[in-house]
Structures are given as C-alpha cells and as structure tokens.
Amino acid sequence: MELILEGIYKAIALLVTLDAEVLNITLLSLKVSGTATLISLVLGLSTGTLLALAEFPGKRLLVSIVNTGMGLPPVVVGLFVTIFLWRNGPFGFLDIMYTPTAMVIAQAIIATPIVTGITLASIQNLPANLQLQILALGATRLQMVLILIKEARLPLLAGVMAGFGGVISEVGASIMVGGNIKGYSRVLTTATVMETGRGNFDVAIALSVILLLLCFLINYVLTRIQQRERPR
Amino acid sequence: MSNGAPPIIEVKNLTVVRGGVQVLDIPSLQLHENEVLALIGPNGAGKSTLLLAMASLIPLTSGEIRCRGEVITSDRSVLAYRRRLAMVFQEPLLFDTTVYENVAAGLKIRGMARGDVRKRVMSTLELFNMAHMADRYARKISGGEAQRTSLARAFALEPEMIFLDEPFSALDPPTRLALTEDLERILNETGTAAIMATHDQLEALRLADSVAVVNRGSIAQSGSPVEVMNRPADEFVASFVGMENIFSGKVTATGEGLLTVTVMGHPVQLHGSARAGEEAVFCVRPENITIISDQGGATSARNVFPAVINKIVSMGAYYKLHLDCGIPLVASLTLQSLSEMNLQKGQRVNASFKATSVHLIRAGSQ
C-alpha cells in the first residue's frame, strides 16, 4: 500500500514539476498513438463501410478475419513489423526500424481492425431500409455513404475510443519496433515496463497514473461529445 | 384516371429475379397524373419489391421503366428520376437529428440554398400541422409524429409522384386514421400522383383511384376499387377482397342472361354467360346477403334459402353471421339490425341475395 501511495505522490510531483523527460514521453505517446489512431480511422472507416455495404463472394470470411484482427496480439504485430522493417526485410530500405514512425505503423496495424470492425457493426446495425430511403431522397452513392457514416457517428466514436485505448496501452509492439530509446522512442508503456524491470516501482506507478489520466481525459472528451449528441 | 394523358410512370415486362427465384413479373403497369394507385395483396406478395423496382431502388432483371415516356437507363437518368419522386417506408427511417433537419434532408441533398430550404421546410411542416415541432429531436417523438415527419420529408421535395410502402401499418388505429385523413387532404391539395402498397383494403378504398391486386409477384387484377371489390377476377382476388362466399357448382339451366348453378344440390341464380353442364365459380359479398325472419317478410331476391344461424361473430363495427343453408353462407349485419331482429345462435331465418349481387368468376369445362 505504501508503495502505491509513494507512486501516486511521485506522479503528482512529476506532473506538478513538469518533469521534462516525463513530459517528452507523454507527448510522444500522444503523438504516436494519436497518429496511429488517425491512420486507422481513415483506413478503418473506409474499409468497414465498404465491407458493410458491398456484397461479394468471400465477404463472410473477410468479416471473420477483421473480427479476429480486433484482438490482434500486439507482440505478433511487433514481430511481423520488425521482420518487414529489418535491415534485410522487404521494407528495410526505408530505414525506419527503432523509430517513432515504426511505432506508428505497428500501432496503426493494431487499431485498424478495431475501427474497421466497429464501423462495420455500426453501419450494419442501421435500419435495413435506411440506404434505400437515402437514395430515394435523391442522394448519390457517395452522399448516401456519408449520411450513413453520420448516422452511425455515436457508435463510431466508441470505435475511436477503443482504437486509441488499444494502442496507447499496448507495449509489445512499441518496444519491439521502437526500441524504447531514451528521448527518442520511449513512450509511457515502454518506460513503465523498463522502470518496473529496474525495480523503480514508484516511477513505474507514476507513469501508469499518467497513462491512466491520459486515457481518462481523452475518453472523457470523446464521451462528452458522444453524450452531447444524445437526444434531448 | 388516364384521360388520354401519357402516364407519369410506365412499367413494361418488368421482372426481378433473386437467388434464382423470380419474385416479380409485371407485364404492364402505369401511373397517371393525379392518380392514386393502391397495390394491395397479402404479406410477401411482392408489393414492396414492386414499389422499390418502380422507384429504381433495386436492379431489374429485365424490362423497362419509363418516366413521361423517357426510358430510365443510365446511372445519371436513374438519379434524375429518383429526384422526381419521394418515398415513405413502413418505418419512419428518420435521421438522428431534429424534425426540421429531417424534413430538410432531401432538399439539402439536392443542394438547395439555405434560405429556400428554410421556407420550404416551414411551409411543409405547416401543411402537416407540425411547425411547432421543428426543433424537437426526431428520436424523441411518438411513432405517429415520426411517420408524419417522414411524410413531410417526402412532400417537402414537391415530388411528381410519391411511393408509399405501407406507411401506416405499424401505427395504432386512431393515429392511423388521423394520418390517412391528412394524407388524403394533402394528396388532394397537391395533386401528387401516388403509388401506395397496403394490405388494408379500407385504406385502399379510401385513398385510391385504382387498385392493383398483387399475388406472388404478379398483378392478379387491376381496375377501379369498386370493380376489384365487387367483380374479382379469380378466387384469390375474391378471397383477398373479403368475398367470403365463394362457391363452385354446375350450370344446370340458362336463359335470358340468367344462369342457374347448382351447388351441393341447391340452385343459385346469377347473371352471366355459360353453357349448361359447365363448371362455374361464383361469389357473393357478405354485405349483399339479407337476413329475413323465418316468420315471413317479402323479398324480390331470386335466391332465398332457409338457414340456421351457426355462429354470430362480433367484428367491432358490425357482426358476421355464419349460416347453414345446405351451403355455408356468411352474412354481415349491423348491430342495429341484429338487435331489432333479436337474432340468436341456432335461430332459423331466411338468407336472400339478388342474382345481380352474385359475381360469376369463371365458367368452363373442367
């Protein structure tokens, strides 16, 4: 108990004193996971919508693959991204291994199936005749898709939260492809793992508290937006 | 309704096949200016599919749709065609926003200027007595208000024709009545042509200028409501429009346009043309059967049968009497008539109907 309280005091101290290293780690975490979430939003929204609206052979198999991808183990993603970005790998020429860019790629791969799966479910949960109603109102196919996405915006916000929550809290892939390099690719989760390994529980707890606060703040903002949209 | 004017919509040799099964086969169907056409038929008959096909919202397997003579073919002509019509479904399918924004949706899709949208939406809401609800959230209004909003959204487009897919079937009777009255008034005021799918014959009778009975993806009969209700083309239509007395028998006598068809040993006289010895199928509406006390009572009807009342069933506004007169007959009676005659189950009465009240569905050698 004493250890936890000490960790919380340490976290407060680090936050109040605006510790430069902690600030950098926090900002990098936000930058990497935020960028990865944005990329996954672009890819997931379009793929999920396409999957929900299009009919083609093998659709069920693809949906099953997406659903499986929603629980993709970060270490597996880390392993394959490492293989692809390794010096001798297919994308080794990019020379981005152990960089924040590699972390963004890995995290985007983790978040994209989550956003895709939630988009797919959100669009499919809209009333069956809504597409026809929108077309009957004179919409082009593009207008129809945009209106459908707008109609599914509340569950889609949950998709954003799930995607962001999934990547900001993952550690396996980030440590494998980012390397946890001090001042360069160290993020809150990798730093927590490192400090725990060193036995610096107070610092690890402090970093965890900051991570939790960050998650809470972002989800709080998104939840406020979601609830504001609810019927009066 | 045609008055020689070209139809707004004309469907020719339309077929739709789904999963290898032909679900629609419509050789010809037209909608004219100011006409209200009701598609009636049981659930699963293909009414909604026909509406969707006519609105170009589902692909046709074969056939064509013409709008004022112009064939709808390319994507561009389909979009232009859809922008001339409006559709209301059984569910209101409102967007997750205010009543105002819902009614404005189609206008905004068309890129109408904001000021014009406002004027059009407010005038439409006033037409539907909903102006006070403009800022209400669509998901928080009642089912009737939601369907009224859906109708307003359709009429705000000032469409040349409106497609209505059982728009009131999910509503309670008073709301349904109120909305039917409003729709009737607005259709009359705007002169909008409409096609309405319904399984409610009363709704069809009230609103429609013409009726098409849909069965198994085909049109079994089309014509004026009175014609379809009283002169059904076949047993299916007869049964669907409430002809509960459908009989088949053998023509035993003919002469002067009058036939005698013997059913289970009982001769029934009716008008029509057939030859003696042929099989004939005919029907009588329950409303056309008169009940006379067995104590007497004069009637000029050619068909009078002594009967026993087997069952009296309340239908709310009226009663149905199931009679055994050698052949089973169903008659309908008002509560007033039932009380005045003090009719009881098991009572002996006379059932009568005129030869002109009998409709010969078909006759021929079997």
SS3 B276: coil
Q: Packing angle between helix B114-127 and helix B99-109, nearest 10 degrees? A: 130
Question: Are residues B46 and B173 both part of a single domain?
Answer: yes
List the structure tokens of B239: 């049964």
- Tell me: do B70 and B164 sit in the same domain: yes
Residue with tokens 């809401």: B125
Element (H, E) at B71: strand B70-71
Backbone angles phi, psi at B358, to 5 degrees: -95, 135
Give pLDDT tens digits for B304-327.
999 999 999 998 889 999 999 989
Cβ neighbours for B223, distance < 8 A, ≥ 6 positions apart: B210, B211, B231
In-domain check, residue B262: yes
Q: How many CB pairs under 8 A join A and B?
A: 52
Last residue of a domain, one of B196, B220, B239: B239
Q: Scanning every residue of chain A, which has its alpha carbon at the shortest distance from the alpha carbon of B140?
A: A231
Residue B1 inside a domain? The answer is no
Residue B340 pLDDT > 70: yes
Distance to chain B for A139, nearest Cα, Å: 6
User: Domain spans of chain A?
Assistant: 2-228
Average of pLDDT values for A202-225?
A: 87
Domain count of the fold of chain B:
2
Average pLDDT, chain B: 92
Q: Which of B56, B93, B120, B157 should we substitute to test contact with A (largest number of A Cβ atoms within 10 Å)?
A: B93
**pLDDT of B118 above 90:** yes
Question: Which of A132, A143, A231 is the closest to B109 by Cβ?
Answer: A143
Q: Are residues B87 and B205 in the same domain?
A: yes
A2-228 folds as MetI-like fold (1.10.3720)
Write out pLDDT tens, residues B232-252.
999 999 999 888 999 999 999
CATH (domain of B266)? 2.40.50.100
- What pTM value is reported for the model? 0.84
Which residue is closest to B95 within chain A, CA to CA? A151
Q: From B104, which residue of chain A is nearest by alpha-carbon distance? A: A137
Between CA A148 and CA A144 the distance in angstroms is 6
Q: In sequence order, which ranges of chain B are alpha helices (DSSP H)?
A: 47-54, 75-82, 99-109, 114-127, 143-155, 173-190, 201-207, 225-230, 235-240, 335-340
Q: What pLDDT was estimated at residue B296?
A: 61
Flag whether the ipTM exceeds 0.90: no
Residues B67, B143 within the same domain: yes
pLDDT score, position A232 = 47
Flag if B93 and A130 touch (Cβ within 8 Å): yes
How buried is residue A31: exposed, middle or buried, by Cβ count under 10 Å (0-12/13-18/19+)?
A: middle
Residues forming beta bridges with residue B86, ordered by sequence position:
B162
Residue B333 sits in which domain range? 246-364
